[in-house]
């Protein structure tokens, strides 16, 4: 594989056609090597427009989805970012390049350890990794400018919205198979939020997410 040609094709044939045109996002996606974060047995799919299995029923999302969410969040170099679901850590690295500092949480310690190794390999230092369950009485001592939830949740929850600063932005995918909506939610005041629907998609559910109660006749 000609890696640089494949990377160029990923940007030009997958990401730009999905209306991702923000120069800082495109530069980050070109410069942070996606192939470093892909599992060894799926290296041939590193630049493909497909979800890549990571183990533990998790996936690496398509590049075009990553591009759209990064563009929607409009990240600045002063932004403190919370990522829920470290996964492969490619998105973690992209967030770190665009923002000030990233706190990334994952339930699986193997993902945390792999992320630490790969981020160290690329000398990315503005990331704090933690193995934890966001839904298990997780206590945050701060609020964030940006929050990214990398798995879907069937029901909207105020948990993530309350962790936003005023003018903070949240990316989340809500709904159940086959109808899921990617959204960017902005906190406009202490008590108000606005929601922008970005696109329809389908991604694995975030483990531990609250599920709707079954209808009983």
Tell me, what's the pLDDT at 216?
47
Confidence of residue 177 (pLDDT cuts 50, 70, 90): confident
Contact between residue 193 and residue 185 where contact means Cβ atoms under 8 Å apart: yes
Domains of the chain and any CATH numbers:
3-201 (3.40.50.150)
Confidence of residue 214 (pLDDT cuts 50, 70, 90): low
Q: What is the pairing mode between strands 80-84 and 101-106?
A: parallel
Give 40's DSSP letter. Answer: G
Contact between residue 70 and residue 28 where contact means Cβ atoms under 8 Å apart: yes
Confidence of residue 213 (pLDDT cuts 50, 70, 90): low
Residue 210 pLDDT exceeds 90: no
Tell me, what's the pLDDT at 207?
84
Residue 44 pLDDT exceeds 90: yes
Higher-scoring residue by pLDDT: 122, 177: 122
Contact between residue 180 and residue 152 where contact means Cβ atoms under 8 Å apart: yes
């Amino acid at each position: 594989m000609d890696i640089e040609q494949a990377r160029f094709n990923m940007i030009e044939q997958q990401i730009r056609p999905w209306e991702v045109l923000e120069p800082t996002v495109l530069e980050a996606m070109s410069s942070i090597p996606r192939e470093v974060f892909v599992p060894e047995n799926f290296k041939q799919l590193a630049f493909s427009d497909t979800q890549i299995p990571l183990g533990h029923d998790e996936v690496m999302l398509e590049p075009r989805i990553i591009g759209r969410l990064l563009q929607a969040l409009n990240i600045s170099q002063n932004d403190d970012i919370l990522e829920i679901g470290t996964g492969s850590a490619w998105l973690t690295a992209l967030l770190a390049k665009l923002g000030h500092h990233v706190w990334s949480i994952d339930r699986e310690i193997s993902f945390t350890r792999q992320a630490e190794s790969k981020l160290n390999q690329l000398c990315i230092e503005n990331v704090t990794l933690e193995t934890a369950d966001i839904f298990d009485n997780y206590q945050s001592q701060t609020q964030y400018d940006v929050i990214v939830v990398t798995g879907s949740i069937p029901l909207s929850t105020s948990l993530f919205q309350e962790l936003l600063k005023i003018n903070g932005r949240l990316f989340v995918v809500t709904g159940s198979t086959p109808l899921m909506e990617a959204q960017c939610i902005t906190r406009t005041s202490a008590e108000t939020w606005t929601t922008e629907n970005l696109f329809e998609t389908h991604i694995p559910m975030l483990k531990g997410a609250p599920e709707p109660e079954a209808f009983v006749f």
